[in-house]
Amino acid sequence: DGNCVNDVEFTFATVFNGTTYSDFVSQAASTGREYFLSSPADPIPQIEDVTVTHLLDNFHNLTINTDDPAVYTGPSFLIVDTTGYTGNPTPSLSVEGNIGFCGIIWVIGEMKIAGTSGIKGTVFVDGNPLEDTALTGNSVVDYDPPCIEAAIDSVSATIFPGTPGIISWREIRQDELLF
């Protein structure tokens, strides 16, 4: 039983109990964690608490080294917006390091998770994941509720009108992925 709803509208507000994308962007901006990356020469942002990264122009490969404390400090909520990217190939996200990423990654647009990325928590794709998104190489995404909770705990309580909750989840098997 329970109260699972099929085909629920997939937005920040439905997943995070009324909290909108704008709320998350406002929090990231207020703490200096909203980044606009338009060239490979742009520095990789520090991923901490709520971090919003916009990939623009020809910036297409975001690499997070979890062993570097200047880049990654622990459980986080990372929002990657690729809708401003204008080039080829599909933008990619790589997670490198011995620690791995713990938390929530929310992708707006297209994204390829590449290399030997180790992600514990969850990945949301706000787009068409079967057409625009790929998991390649030896990447692993482990659904991990404690990492999700730790990422949610890093979000300012002032932006949540209610307690976020997991309304449903689906693990995609390797044979369902398009390469």
Q: For 74-91, what is the mean pLDDT?
A: 84
Cα–Cα dist 69/117, whole Å: 17
Cα 44 to Cα 59, 67, 139, 140: the distances in Å are: 11, 14, 20, 22
Percent of the chain with pLDDT over 70: 79
Top-confidence residue, 161 or 61: 61
CB atoms within 10 A of CB 31: 13
Residue 79: band (very low, low, confident or very high) from pLDDT cuts 50, 70, 90? very high
